[in-house]
Amino acid sequence: WPRRQSLTDDGKMVGDFHRRYILVTDTFFLLSLGNQLSSLDGVPVAVKDNFCTTRISSSCGSAILKDFTSPYDATVVHLLRKARAVVMGKTNLDEFGMGSANIYSTFGPVYNPHDLGKGQGLGSPSERRVAGGSSGGSAAAVASGMCFAALGSDTGGSVRLPASYCGIVGFKPSYGRCSRWGLIAYANSLDTVGLLARTVRDAEIVYDIISEHDDRDPTSMPIDIRKHVDAITPGFESITGDLEDLTGLRIGIPQEYFVSELAPAIVQLWRDGIAHLRDRGATIVPVSMPNTRHALSAYYVLASAEASSNLARFDGLRYGHRSDKGSFKNDTLPYADTRTEGFGPEVRRRIILGTYVLTAGSYKNYFLQAQKVRRLVQEDFDHVFLFPNPVHHHPLPTDTSSGVHVLLTPAAISTAPKLQDCFPSADETSNAKNPVDAYVGDVMTVPASLAGIPAIVVPFGASPLDGYPIGLQLMAQYGDERTLLRVAATLE
């Protein structure tokens, strides 16, 4: 047992939980005691409920899949089980991953575990904060010590935003590093498997286990490309070999991330982060990424378009909920009723938006424009990074004298908002929030998703105003997880 407990700073809690869990439900693991198969052997991990799992249902937080249990495990779940990690349960999420506050789940919202530490117990219901979304359940489970780490999915920031709100690490590897087979698709050109853990090292342990090529995912990075990518991004090593020494490392600060919506406490923490890295010898370089300001709108056009297509499969015929209003006998098919009953308001909003931008009349003005913006955002990143993009067929000329290893930005524009402030107003004429206002919360995280590059959020302090945690985000060139994780660890 001590070996396993030593995996976390606060291993005891995890160890105790694990012991109880193992005796009740997974007794066969006892047979393997003494035979450590991996660094996750016997370690409890949670899995977001949009990954397919046998034995436990996979609902995607949606009424349409409430009672659905998959006949197979997602590849990443299979890899965890193969490493003898204990999948201790599935976690709540915004329906199909669509949301930033984990308020759009048929099972209700996820609360921020930091509410408990505020001296007033759980506080009054009106004061409660969100855990962030869409991987809010995974973030809350890790932040409250229920498990060692959790799988999330990150399409536009869904592990990074909850990590910032809950004060833990949220890691989105490069697109293609971890198999998406068995991850129920939201927007497949953006979906990545994400990780939540309490430390960078813990996230890396899980990443090493689940980052493998998989033939069943056509977008999984092939083995030869992995080798090529690893060779072309040699990572950063300081001359002294001291992990805290960042002499020679170049960190870019993109000016366009300094948006008017940033809370003053976040700006201050960003400055503190810059000073922290400069004190360790890093060179700070202001950089410009002019297309960042279009990234958010392009993301919501593309993500909704892909979602409208992906979610067409939920018709009530093959699996999941089926409305009993329609009957096949008198020629009324149950599609519309099934989908009206099964999908919540945010999912319906995205399906309508996505269908609209794909119609003949608006395709050119919205969908194609958004694809072009996506390419421009990718090129912005390629212009500032020191290493060339290893999967670009024609790498853009990079000025190696000014290129940076990583970029540092805030992870979110504020600390975790109050739950009541996240619900859109029913009265559309009032000045209160409309659902689209919430989309601005993703402004720091969507550019890395559009570019498919790795990004990580590390907790870096708390707001002096409300005491809730704040994280900083690091981004690196496609495939350069090594540098990213190395620098992230110095922020802890």
Task: Name which position in 77, 210, 303, 453 contacts ligand GLN (CB under 6 A).
Answer: 303
134 is catalytic: yes
Burial (CB count within 10 angstroms: exposed 0-12, middle 13-18, buried 19+), residue 433: middle
Is 211 known to be catalytic?
no
Stretch that binds ligand GLN, among 137-145, 147-155, 177-185, 274-282 (CB under 6 A): 147-155
DSSP label at residue 173: P
Our finding on whether 447 is near ligand GLN (CB under 6 A) is: no
Q: Which residues contact 354 (CB under 8 A, 6 or more apart)?
A: 303, 304, 305, 306, 307, 308, 309
3-state secondary structure 339-385: HHHHCCHHHHHHHHHHHHHHCCCCHHHHHHHHHHHHHHHHHHHHHHE
CB of 354 to ligand GLN, least distance (A): 11
The two counts, helices (H) then strands (E), for the chain are 15, 10
Report the residue from 89, 113, 156, 320 that binds ligand GLN according to the rule CB under 6 A. 156
Q: Should residue 354 be labelled a site residue for ligand GLN when binding is judged by CB under 6 A?
A: no
CB of 180 or CB of 250, closer to ligand GLN: 180
Nearest to 85 by CA among 43, 37, 26: 43
Backbone φ, ψ for residue 152 (5° rounding): -130, -175
| Binding residue for ligand GLN, selected from 154, 315, 382, 481, defined by CB under 6 A | 154
The conformation of residue 174, written as its DSSP 8-state character, comes to P
* Binders in 249-268 for ligand GLN, by CB under 6 A: none
Q: Does 100 bind ligand GLN (CB under 6 A)?
A: yes
8 A C-beta contact, residue 147 and residue 183: no
Minimum distance from residue 99 beta carbon to ligand GLN (Å):
5
- Comparing CB distances to ligand GLN, the nearer of 207 and 299 is 299
Q: Reduced to 3 states, what is the DSSP secondary structure of residue 146?
A: coil
Is residue 158 flagged as an active site residue? yes
Which of residues 99 and 471 has its CB atom nearest to ligand GLN in the complex? 99
Between 160 and 405, name the residue whose CB sits nearer to ligand GLN.
Answer: 160
From CA 103, how far away is CA 120, in angstroms rounded?
23
Closest separation in Å from C-beta 200 to ligand GLN: 20
- Per annotation, catalytic residue among 62, 134, 138, 308: 134
Supply 278's token pair. Answer: 């400069």
Binding-site size for ligand GLN (CB under 6 A) equals: 14
**95 binds ligand GLN per the rule CB under 6 A:** no
Distance CA 111, CA 103 (A): 9
DSSP state of 388: P
Stretch that binds ligand GLN, among 26-34, 121-129, 151-159, 330-338 (CB under 6 A): 151-159
- Strand-pairing partners, residue 129, are 418
Name, in order, each residue with C-beta under 8 angstroms of 105's C-beta and a sequence gap of 6 or more: 61, 92, 93, 94, 95, 344
Answer for which of 70, 112, 134, 174 binds ligand GLN (CB under 6 A) is 134
CA distance 328 to 338: 13
| Residue number, 300 or 468, with CB nearest to ligand GLN | 300
185 to 204: interface string for ligand GLN, x by CB under 6 A = -x------------------
Q: Report the residue number, 44 or 133, with the smaller CB distance to ligand GLN.
A: 133
Instruction: Tell me how far apart the alpha carbons of residues 401 and 412 are, in angstroms, rounded to a whole number.
Output: 31
In contact, 8 and 149? CB cutoff 8 Å: no
Told to check if 373 binds ligand GLN by CB under 6 A, we report no
Structure-token match 């359940």, residue found? 137
Smallest distance, Å, CB 157 to ligand GLN?
5
Query: Which residues, numbered 456-475, are part of the site for ligand GLN (CB under 6 A)?
Result: none
Residue of 59, 135, 158, 164 marked catalytic: 158
Among 157, 173, 344, 403, binds ligand GLN (CB under 6 A): 157
15, 89, 97, 182: which one contacts ligand GLN (CB under 6 A)? 97
The single residue of 48, 62, 174, 304 carrying the catalytic annotation is: 48
Smallest distance from ligand GLN to CB 487, Å: 23
Query: Using CB under 6 A as the criterion, which residues of the chain lie in contact with ligand GLN when the complex forms?
Result: 97-100, 134, 153-158, 186, 303, 442
- Residues recognised as catalytic: 48, 134, 158
